Amino acid sequence: MMQPEKLTLTAVIGLFNLSGLYAVAYAWLFGMSLWISFFGGVIAYKTLPRVQFGTLQHKTFPIYFVLSIILGSTLLGLWTLSHPAVLTHYSSPLVADVAQAYTLALVILSQASNYFIVGPLTSKTMFERMKLEKDEGKTYSESGVSDKMKALNRRFGMLHGVSSLANLGAVIALGFHGLWIGNTGVRL
């Protein structure tokens, strides 16, 4: 019969290593992504008036995207440093370690496109639409809105869709990476 492992100060201090850092960074990124994408936004949408919801999203998403870029870059850097096959076989995406690096790069690129391009355009369109609602005295969804409002609605819908797809791609990639490290270990 095996003896249970005793928790000592040395064992606790030993937890602070690159593998532990990697696991915590991954958990933070994946948990945050799931919460923002599937829970927090839905709760806010159902709870807050539309204008306040839009303002909250405008303030929340840039922070989420920056944290995703930082944490994703940290994971990619640690993965690349500890898996030499990434650098020697970078053009072979079927090499498992390379595939995981590409997966992490997809997360970074998706969230960077949201932070630097799609997110600002979406916010700008949302605020233009809010201003036009005040000017016209109608909400964007009422019948008889102006052609300008219809154009803003189409642009907002398209940008929101692109942003959502990029974010969903990042969440799926993180899920794939989590399944990989859950089955093979972090191995740093």
- Tens-place pLDDT, residues 107-161: 999 999 999 999 999 999 999 999 999 999 999 999 999 999 999 999 999 999 9
| pLDDT value, residue 81 | 96
Q: Are 129 and 142 in contact (CB under 8 A)?
A: no
Tokens 């909250």 sit on residue = 56
User: What is this structure's pTM?
Assistant: 0.93
Domain count within the chain: 1
The type of residue at 165 is L
Closest CA to 152 of 132, 178, 179: 132
69-121 pLDDT per residue, tens: 999 999 999 999 999 999 999 999 999 999 999 999 999 999 999 999 999 99
The type of residue at 177 is H
Domain that holds residue 120: 16-184
Residue 188 has pLDDT above 90, yes or no: no
- 2 within a domain of the structure (yes/no): no
- 124 within a domain of the structure (yes/no): yes
- 1 within a domain of the structure (yes/no): no
Q: How confident is the model at residue 58 (pLDDT cuts 50, 70, 90)?
A: very high
- 97 within a domain of the structure (yes/no): yes
- 56 within a domain of the structure (yes/no): yes
- 10 within a domain of the structure (yes/no): no
- 3 within a domain of the structure (yes/no): no
Closest CA to 20 of 181, 173, 183: 181
36-53 pLDDT per residue, tens: 999 999 999 999 999 999
Q: Are 41 and 57 in contact (CB under 8 A)?
A: yes
- 5 within a domain of the structure (yes/no): no
- The 3 state secondary structure assigned to the chain is CCCCCCCCHHHHHHCCCHHHHHHHHHHHHHHHHHHHHHHHHHHHHHHCCHHHHHHHHHHHHHHHHHHHHHHHHHHHHHHHHHCCHHHHCCCCCCCHHHHHHHHHHHHHHHHHHHHHHHHHHHHHHHHHHHHHHHHHCCCCCCCCCCHHHHHHHHHHHHHHHHHHHHHHHHHHHHHHHHHHHHHHCCCC
